[in-house]
Structure 1
């Protein structure tokens, strides 16, 4: 063991000794000036000692921890020998386990990953990215509302502010990298929705590498950003907005406006599924997509229809959705269709989707009415 410890060999040399020296009776020899010599004793640890270490980590709220224990014999209970836990480290080193001075190496990295992520899990939460020229904020808030009703704690960074659940944490435009990053850092967040404007995409980039759902609402024919050398709508589509489709995961979906040719053409860029939405049910693109077994959300005779291949079902009607003002506001109808497509892509059921779009905005109106009554009472 000593021959494999260069520090011990040097310490012996300072005392004019070697690893083969035989000290005189009663002479005390210093081998190391610190105790960081690692010897694997995993197979010898008493079950009660392991349980005590695990409890210590849980008490301080750690999933992964390094626990320092003082004991004469690790194979015996601590209480029997006056042993004790002296420290719990939040950032334990792994090298001592991978390359111990003595004993069997242990694949602790693999064990940590298996503990943090169950079978089939990849560590990702559902992320929804929304871009387009118009309607991004409304679509993002609608999607977040539906996710909230599905039972997940959702984080939202959009043009209206930064939200966690139903709580507005910061008011104002938070459709940017910084706000999105804050959402991703929050361990309580179970799903995230991000609005991504053109300037933010070009100047900061996306806060996430991949997303489960990417929504492209529309592209204005006059859209341009000359300061970023984006001169027309075609360049906006092919150099900027397509980013949201490029990052969709293979098991995810792009939700695209079938009535906007520049947006619809992005379907070929998606690694995952494509769900089209539109207010023109007679669209040849929708018909071909459904013929091939694809999914689509569209408006027909005032009803919002979910269709997959030949199967169709009514989600709601525009008369029941306050946001559309009985269908009079066409762009709001498109916004609702986009949100329904995104929620469907997330696997949320039609009942929850219906509740989300039919109740959206009513809570705020009720709260404003209560405030007005309180002020006039």
Structure 2
């Protein structure tokens, strides 16, 4: 028995460029004139909310109060989007205001019917949490514009009551939002499949991503890169420069390794990432013991490694070629030629503390490790560094401490580029961050003892301006064009799907493997039936868009189903309106001619121009 409707996906509706739902938002508008300009200033200056221009629907609102309320509802949509993006939920369309109405019983109460994006396979609680929090915050700001509340009070409430609950509803990474945002800006369709995995594109053009990892990455290669000892062994076997280290299980073994390798040393866990438990510049037994205890508190697999001179350079390899390269310097403070280091740290810390927690950078420490790092670089807390001069507060860059990056793409020596590309290929990683420790990346590795320190699967990508500027080029290497396939719709009762079959044959003659589907029947390019466990045009189309053998689709729309579900695609290349005979979706024996115009209007939102 076939199910009529078994899907946890949302359709495209009302012109939204992301799948979505229509909901009603209620808002109590404070009496008097509400200062929209001051509200915008608060949202921009305090939260860094992007205020998109209001759509043209305001033209139809004659009363000034209606226009004001429309503006407030628009900002509810923008703030709801902001909360979701901050929680790494990829909502980029602000939404569409369909109507605004005032309560007849209470002049301060208004309602708006809106179409908003809803990411597939996520809880609808996300919508409630994001948009109810948005209305509450806007109401708070409007009523407390002259409040003496300290800036961090609403921040703490938002962090605990809004952002943390939203973050708990999705698995996502730092790279997810920048990649999907660029895809959206370039009209590449995407859908959330499950557990933070997304499909970009349709049919034969589809690709799968999970953070910055892609479907072409080797699972065997990934397994190797999760262990630094195994990674270095593979690199060395391939004839590439690798770290020289020893795996140890006790401090006594670490001391023996030090005798073999000589000072200075690095101690680090073999199976952890992001700089966790790493200690560098170890030059005596006392520091070696401290480093071993620090690393062994996090892992049982400890590496004692010969330190090489230089800093870490990250070379981002995608599809076998360098996308960009950055120099990853330790956490540092920038000089201005006027202030002491202590003053610079104090000013930077104050500015950082005034931001919402989710926009704050890593702290600027002035602890013992910072003093040691400064001293080795020739600075003290009373030094006045020149303008643009960077004072290190740590010895190495790490996720825990942060760092300072510079683009060096044009400086990478061809020999260094070659070993980076070889390393990515060695582990069969389509997208890899190759970390090279070198004193000068513009010199070949064999001249200055440079090594490939790590090979990173799913490297952080998009978290800085350098990476974001490279994102469009990255997507061009990942997906063909905008990732779409031709989609045609034949609307109306079609006996034996004759018109739809005719369109399928026309595309086949052009050398395109076109599939054809209605709500109850699907045909392969050779005309053979393709069974599905459901009777649903939306579900069948969605399934076909996940099939790499599908190069084009003809949809035979014979019921009003898409008015209920929304469209399964956000671009239709051609609409053929056969007749006005449309069946009721849930009762095929009942005609639904009155809905044909609504269907046409819905489809026309997505007709290619």
**TM-score (normalised: structure 2):** 0.32
RCO higher in 1 or 2 (8 Å CA, sep ≥ 6)?
A: 2
**TM-score (normalised: structure 1):** 0.48
